Amino acid sequence: MLLKTRAILVLVVGAAMGLSLSFGGGLLANRQLPNEEALAREQARLLAEVMDRVKRDFVEPVDDSALLESAIRGMVSDLDAHSEYLDADEYRDVRTSTTGTYTGVGIEISQADGIITVITPIAGSPAARADIRSGDQIIAIDGVSIEPAKLRDTVGRMRGKPGSRINITVLRDGAAIVHEMRREIIRVASVHHEILGPSYGYVRVSQFNDTTARELGRAIDALQDQEGGMLDGLILDLRNNPGGVLDAAVDVSDLFLDAGLIVTANGRTPDAQFERSAHRGDVLDGGELIVLVNKGSASASEIVAGALQDHGRAAVVGTATFGKGLVQTVMPLSKGRAIKLTTSRYYTPSGASIHGAGITPDVYVKESPGYPDLSLTGAVDRENDAQLLGAIERLQRRRVMHSNAQ
């Protein structure tokens, strides 16, 4: 065995031992060291043995750093579908995406049971224009089959220089469909707004980033200025919104609530156990509120829908949401790297976990084919979008009921 390889293996053994001791839940203090230490030594020995075999016998030479990085990626990604190791470039992309600007085709995906599924295309993105839809299963990129277990690799293959071509093959209703598009700098305006009628407003939130709550507040102010006073009702459209920054979801919920829990989270560490509550001040001053959701509404969208529904602040209209009730924390490492780790499960104010189940709407309305319109400039369609029509009808009914109650 080469001297360099020996050094790497010693480092791996030492790292494995260090991890077992640091994550062992106070093994030294609890005097449980003998059995745990023996197990840690055995596992570290196995890791060193496998690395040695790969170094010696794999058909092509393997770089030490690449081999170690693969081992780290596998260790983290095998935890669940959402945890991953991020190299310096990937970590930079994650930090950039929270600002609402990044390079790619504009698509949110998830991996579960060996299948890579589209959560939603981002409004106005190449993926949305190419008619990629929520629920599509990605099976190939540029004609090359993807590896379902490698979500990060799939994301990486969709990245590239702005203007470069890419073909994404999806499986929809048993048929393979190839979508051709060009990569772009995705600058997502996360909020679109317009007036529906006298004193009725509409806002669509396409994702949750660092500026979303501020954008939404300004949009509602603009609608109220346009109507010359407070709105009687508002439709908050979260359809095909894949989520994003948790604090943005909390701030958006807080815009419409005067008090009470917004979300709680439970994890193993003190930092992973928290709750967020509303502050006094409702931007609608009690005006009627409807939240539109569908199967593409995930994560942060579900926090907002669940909080407003549990407090009776809004009626939720549409179909059941995606059902992602896990919190990921991005933890910086050395040399610009990081890990994104699932650290908590979050719960709505009523204590319900929606992971795997989603938010059940108060009023079920099936989607119309081709809706919602995902173009950034597309106006709402009050004739063909059945879910929007259902929301408008519910909004008008609630307003009449509220007026009669007074």
194 and 116, same domain (yes or no): no
pLDDT at site 64:
83
pLDDT at site 40:
80
C-beta atoms surrounding 399 within 10 Å: 16
Domain assignment of residue 276, given as a range = 189-405
Is the bond into 121 cis (omega within 30 degrees of 0)? no
109 and 53, same domain (yes or no): no
147 and 255, same domain (yes or no): no
Residue 340 is a catalytic residue: no
107 and 155, same domain (yes or no): yes
212 and 360, same domain (yes or no): yes
| Cα–Cα distance for residue pair 363/366, rounded to 1 Å | 10
107 and 40, same domain (yes or no): no
357 and 212, same domain (yes or no): yes
Q: How far is CA 200 from CA 79, 335, 398, 402, in A?
A: 46, 51, 13, 15
CA torsion, ordered 281, 346, 210, 379, to nearest 10 deg? -80
Say if CB 313 and CB 349 are below 8 A apart.
no
C-beta atoms surrounding 172 within 10 Å: 14
**Structural domains of the chain, count:** 3
Pick the catalytic residue from 83, 299, 301, 344: 299
Pick the catalytic residue from 310, 340, 344, 385: 310
Pick the catalytic residue from 251, 254, 297, 324: 324
- ∠ at Cα 74 (26, 244), nearest 5°? 85
205 and 253, same domain (yes or no): yes
The identity of residue 343, as a single letter, is T
Q: Among 35, 62, 89, which residue terminates a domain?
A: 62
Mean pLDDT by 10 residues, the chain (406 residues): 37 36 36 69 87 90 86 90 88 74 80 80 85 91 82 77 93 94 81 89 91 94 92 95 93 97 96 95 95 95 98 97 93 94 95 93 91 64 90 80 54
CATH code of the domain containing 339: 3.90.226.10
166 and 221, same domain (yes or no): no
Residue 350 is a catalytic residue: no
pLDDT at site 379:
67
Q: How far is CA 156 from CA 21, 33, 114, in A?
A: 34, 42, 18
DSSP 106-136: -EEEEEETTEEEEEEEPTTSHHHHTT--TTP
For residue 277 the two structure tokens come to: 């509550």
For residue 63 the two structure tokens come to: 């770089």
Residue 70 is a catalytic residue: no
